[in-house]
Amino acid sequence: MSAPTESATAQLALPGIEEGAEVEWTWAEDESDDMMPTSFVHVTVMRAEVVAAMAPVPGGVYVDATLGGGGHAEAILEAEPEARLIGLDRDPVALEAAGQRLARFGDRVRLVHTTFGRVERALEEIGQAPVQGVYADLGVSSPQLDAAERGMSFRREGPIDMRMDQTSGETALELMDRLDDDELANVIFRYGDERRSRRIARSIKKALEEGELATTLDLRRAIVRAVGPVRVGGVDPATRTFQALRIAVNREVEELEALLEGLPAVVAPSGHAAIISFHSLEDRLVKQAFKGDDAWHVVTKRPLVPSDDEGAQNVRARSAKLRVARRAGED
Ligand SMILES: C[S@@+](CC[C@H](N)C(=O)[O-])C[C@H]1O[C@@H](n2cnc3c(N)ncnc32)[C@H](O)[C@@H]1O
């Protein structure tokens, strides 16, 4: 599939999304944030709702597929003193930080460095499947987004990396170098819903050829050169392209598809799966997976959303949607 012309308005198919479906994006970058350096602080979204969805029982084992700062994990472990938790994350820095936060729970916690697309294999390897619940809080954490050296933010100068796991895989710079103009435009259009994708891709490739693309600010400059500096709907002109590149670099859609495919095999009958997503593409994948599979009873006919209070306190929470399903069998 190729990128549309600048004037095209048709939606293109995405992995797992039917062609023609409307894709609505929301942006995680907090525009009001200042430029202070950040420690590993991530405000947990829908904390109480995730605990309620897991309904932890004594002796139950729960998998946090996106451990991050360990906020949800801590809530589960506190809610049921005899529950155990397995935390997965692809980011070794997150595992380290969460490990410190959860140290007080001792051997009730086990951390695994893996992608959640490999959840089935990871649990098999440690002899822990099936479990009573699995939940995921998708996307990136605030520390990942804010750390200049990770290259995910267009407001902080850093290398054009964007990997959640900086120990493996291709960086965004390497990806842009490898793709030709059309392929790059496709990525920007598909994952950023950016209609000016062709112009932006051409400008990026030109900057690369001229040796002018080393940092995130260079990348933003190349984007602005293509589309101008005007913010549309309060959104920086670089936002969509940065988000698209991050999704492609981390194979976020493919990872979610693999997680959803693996869940029925790892959740025990009557156990629960809960997923918080932050844009409509992810939410649609989750909805389809729970609804279209006899393995699940849908618990949330409509997705749960954060309270007004939580939304007022945490910009990132405003676009969160939580869907919950119960594993069929042994009712
Ligand atoms: C939004 S944060 C989770 C925050 C956590 N729930 C908390 O309350 O502190 C998402 C985390 O998921 C991780 N992550 C994203 N995609 C992943 C994947 N495919 N496999 C494993 N971890 C992933 C990121 O590295 C990040 O640490």
Q: How far is the CA of 139 from the centre of ligand 1 (A)?
A: 6
Nearest to 262 by CA among 168, 130, 132, 70: 130
Residue 228 above 90 pLDDT?
Answer: yes
- What pTM, to 2 d.p., does this model score? 0.88
Q: Which residues contact 47 (CB under 8 A, 6 or more apart)?
A: 71, 72, 75
Is 26 inside a domain boundary?
A: no
Q: Flag whether pLDDT at 27 surpasses 70.
A: no
Q: What is the structure's pLDDT at 162?
A: 98
Percent of the chain with pLDDT over 70: 87
Residue after which a domain boundary falls, among 219, 249, 279? 249
Asked which of 167-176, 225-234, 245-254 is least confident by mean pLDDT, the reply is 225-234
- Asked if residue 25 belongs to a domain, the reply is no
Shared-domain flag, residues 80 and 112: yes
Which residues 6+ apart lie within 8 Å of 90 measured at CB? 113, 114, 115, 116, 164, 165, 250
Cβ–Cβ under 8 Å, residues 118 and 168: no
Q: 228 CA to middle of ligand 1, Å?
A: 33
Q: Is residue 36 scored above 70 in pLDDT?
A: no
Q: Is residue 10 part of a domain?
A: no
Q: For residue 37, is pLDDT > 60?
A: no
Q: How far apart are CA 315 and CA 266, in angstroms?
A: 33
pLDDT at residue 155 tops 50: yes
3-state helix, strand, coil in the chain (%, to 5): 45, 15, 40
Residue 316: what pLDDT? 86
Alpha helices of 12-105 — where are they, by DSSP H? 47-54, 71-79, 92-102
Please write the tens of the pLDDT for every residue from 98-150: 999 999 999 999 999 999 999 999 999 999 999 999 999 999 999 999 999 99
The boundaries of the domain holding residue 68 are 47-142+253-327
CATH code of the domain covering residue 264 = 3.40.50.150
Q: 102 and 242 share a domain?
A: no
- 88 pairs with which residues across the strands? 112
Q: What is the pLDDT of residue 194?
A: 95
5 domain-assigned: no
In a domain, 302, yes or no: yes
Q: What is the mean pLDDT of residues 213-232?
A: 96
Number of domains in the chain: 2
CATH of the domain at 231: 1.10.150.170
Nearest one of 273, 323, 319, 313 to 43, comparing CA atoms: 313
Last residue of a domain, one of 222, 249, 276: 249
- Say whether pLDDT at 233 is over 50: yes
In angstroms, what is the span from residue 144 Cα to ligand 1's centroid? 10
For residue 8, name the pLDDT band (cuts at 50, 70, 90).
very low
Cα separations (Å) of 113 from 108, 303, 324?
17, 29, 25
Q: Please state the atom number of ligand 1 nearest to the C-alpha of residue 70.
A: 9
Residue with CA closest to ligand 1 atom 4: 68
Question: What integer best gives the mean pLDDT of the chain?
Answer: 89
The last residue of a domain, from among 249, 277, 303: 249
Tell me which residues have their CB closer than 6 angstroms to ligand 1: 42, 44, 66, 68-72, 88-91, 94, 115-117, 137, 139-141, 164, 255
State whether 91 and 126 are in the same domain: yes
Centroid of ligand 1 to alpha carbon of 28 (angstroms):
14
